[in-house]
């Protein structure tokens, strides 16, 4: 049977439920506008519940994650140079902005063949960088990746900062990228919202 497009609250009912509006003092988040009768304790979890959720999610992820060239298996993670790992994550984060993963894979591989380290990227010209980026679009990302590599070489002695604040000092790295890099490359537990 075809399902009605009406919400369950409206099916078979001629009376409209009043919904809170943006000026209602009881509205604490967007869910209060959509689900005005939800229990506020619904979002409250004990520390044990949070730990269980986190462990279950990470276990699921370990067994179901896609194999991607910028991901390092846990077994190899400790043997890779932290600066190289951060560079790889940085490149992938910049390429993945507004671009599908399937598209990025080949570009990432070619990029890492041409610019395998931060030093090789910083030593390239912007024309060389743009030529390697060609086809990904949004060339500003490539420009800032190059500018950021030059900044790290000149201002940080070639070492990518390992804190969110330090990463934010690099031209072209904003809050989302800084948190993603810190979390993925340096295993820093920091909130990330996409």
Q: Which active-site residues does the annotation give?
A: 93
Classify the phi-psi angles of 187: left when phi > 0, otherwise alpha if psi is within -120 to 50, otherwise beta. left
Classify the phi-psi angles of 12: left when phi > 0, otherwise alpha if psi is within -120 to 50, otherwise beta. left
Q: How far apart are CA 26 and CA 192, in angstroms?
A: 27
Residue with tokens 């990025």: 104
Please, what's the b/e burial string for 137-176 (b: 16 or more CB within 10 A of its CB; e: otherwise)?
Answer: eeeebbbbbbbbbbbbbeeeeeebbbebebbeebebbeee
Q: How far apart are CA 173 and CA 187, in angstroms?
A: 18
Contacts of 15 (CB under 8 A, 6+ apart): none
């Amino acid at each position: 049977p075809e399902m009605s497009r009406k919400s369950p609250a409206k099916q078979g009912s001629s009376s409209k439920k009043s919904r809170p509006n943006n000026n209602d003092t009881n509205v604490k988040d967007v869910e209060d506008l959509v689900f005005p009768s939800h229990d506020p304790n619904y979002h409250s979890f004990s520390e044990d519940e949070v730990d269980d959720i986190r462990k279950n999610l990470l276990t699921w992820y370990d067994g179901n994650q896609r194999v991607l060239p910028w991901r390092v298996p846990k077994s190899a993670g400790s043997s890779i140079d932290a600066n190289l790992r951060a560079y790889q994550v940085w490149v992938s984060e910049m390429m993945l902005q507004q671009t599908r993963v399937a598209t990025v894979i080949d570009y990432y591989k070619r990029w890492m063949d041409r610019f395998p380290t931060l030093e090789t990227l910083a030593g390239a010209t912007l024309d060389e960088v743009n030529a390697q980026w060609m086809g990904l679009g949004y060339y500003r990302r490539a420009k800032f990746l190059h500018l950021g590599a030059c900044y790290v070489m000149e201002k940080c002695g070639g070492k990518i900062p390992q804190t969110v604040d330090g990463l934010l000092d690099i031209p072209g790295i904003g809050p989302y990228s800084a948190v993603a890099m810190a979390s993925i490359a340096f295993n820093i537990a920091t909130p990330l919202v996409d």
